[in-house]
Amino acid sequence: MNEWADAKCFPPLHTGIKLSWMFFLLFQQAASYYCNKLGFEPLAYRGLETGCRDVVSHVVKQDKIIYVFASALNPGNKEMGEHLVKHGDGAKDIAFTVENCDYLVQKARERGAIIVKEPYVLEDKYGRVKLAVLQTYGDTTHTFVERTAYNGLFLPGFHTPLHRDPLLAKLPSGLLNFIDHVVGNQPDDEMVPVVEWYQKNLLFHRFWSVDDKQLQTDFSALRSIVVANYEETVKMPINEPAMGKRKSQIQEYVEYYGGPGVQHIAMNTSDIITAIRNLKERGMEFMCVPDTYYQLLRKNLQQSQVRDTTFSDVLINELKILVDFDDNGYLLQIFTKPVQDRPTVFLEVIQRHNHQGFGAGNFKALFEAIEADQNARGNLTILKPNGVSNQI
């Protein structure tokens, strides 16, 4: 999901959409966490000191990945307050860089999209930026950002950070390069309508899909469809739970988040071995899969057509990185534990070698690891057909 992919024309042949940034309803300590644990650097700031009286925003960046962490400054901020009460900390907005904001908003409106904020302009001495906000699944939004006429640090109104932690320069690099994909969880039977929303309103297309016959463990299952823009630089898997013996991690997310929302953000790296070593040295906590997974992996790799494997089996096992492959190539991936108190949003680190899948071959190992954490939380409960779960 490289945000700098070229775009030359517009719908219906071309979306003109690239990933821009992720906007979280969090606060200063969260921004510090992403810098200390994941290797981000402070990029920009907006708050009381810059003349913004209502909301404070901390912007952090690592290579092409930009996260914005925001919180209310004053009591009574109903919009932010109600969102946090319902959902807890989470990703509120996925922003896209676009070439023609007015055109895309007009076409989306004609197709039935809800426009939360009509196109508006922000400007300062560095130029002007046009933005608009669209409603997508649940309370999640997409901001369109047209910034071809802007040369500033981030956006008009943002200044350089007030403080830079001197400790960050002494820590090993996170080696995270760009956002690979962003996953949205939906309640049961709501995945297809969301997929159709992206197809209809943003002219995305189906890129990849799996059903509960392919993605299941002894306890739980899911269905997933990945949508992508025309250029296939923006990829968004849309998940929903499927009926199983116990409550799936997707259902757990929906219940704790209070509805649909961003489940995880995958960040691409060109060197996952060094990246995970460095992130673990910085104190980042990842999910752990059993050694039996690697015993089976070695056996399956020997029987596969994949020969161009540049990774070390020993290091993969040591770092608990997952491997998925087909006849053409492979991917390496690992998942963090939830990055807030509610068991909702988590992160992924991924490296691809001629493989454009999303780890379907790792589903069983991943979900068994997640189910172990669910069990520790008391949430691996028996699920009845009516969706009611009983404690075991």
Residues in the annotated binding site: 181, 264, 348
Tokens for 329?
Answer: 């190539």
Tokens for 279?
Answer: 């992130």
Q: Evaluate the CA torsion angle 226, 184, 286, 383 in order and state its sign.
A: negative
Sort residue 20 into left (φ over 0), alpha (ψ -120 to 50) or beta. alpha
Instruction: From residue 377, give the alpha-carbon distance in Å to each of 343, 384, 391.
Output: 9, 19, 11
Q: Which of 391, 338, 326, 324 is nearest to 369 (CA)?
A: 338
Known binding-site residues for Fe cation equal 181, 264, 348
Give the alpha-carbon dihedral of 75, 80, 82, 83, to 10 degrees: -150
CA–CA dist 162, 232 (Å, integer): 37
Instruction: From residue 104, give the alpha-carbon distance in Å to each of 12, 55, 136, 228, 352.
Output: 11, 28, 15, 16, 31
Q: Which of 64, 133, 357 is nearest to 235 (CA)?
A: 357
**DSSP H helical ranges for 129-223:** 191-201
DSSP state letters, 26-89: --HHHHHHHHHHH--EEEEEESGGGT--SEEEEEEEETTEEEEEEEESSTT-HHHHHHHHHH-S
Q: For Cα atoms 189, 347, 216, give the angle at the middle one, nearest 5 degrees.
A: 45
Q: Are 35 and 28 in contact (CB under 8 A)?
A: no
CA–CA dist 321, 332 (Å, integer): 7
Q: Evaluate the CA torsion angle 147, 127, 178, 339 in order and state its sign.
A: negative
Q: Determine how many CB atoms are found less than 10 A away from the CB of residue 374.
A: 21
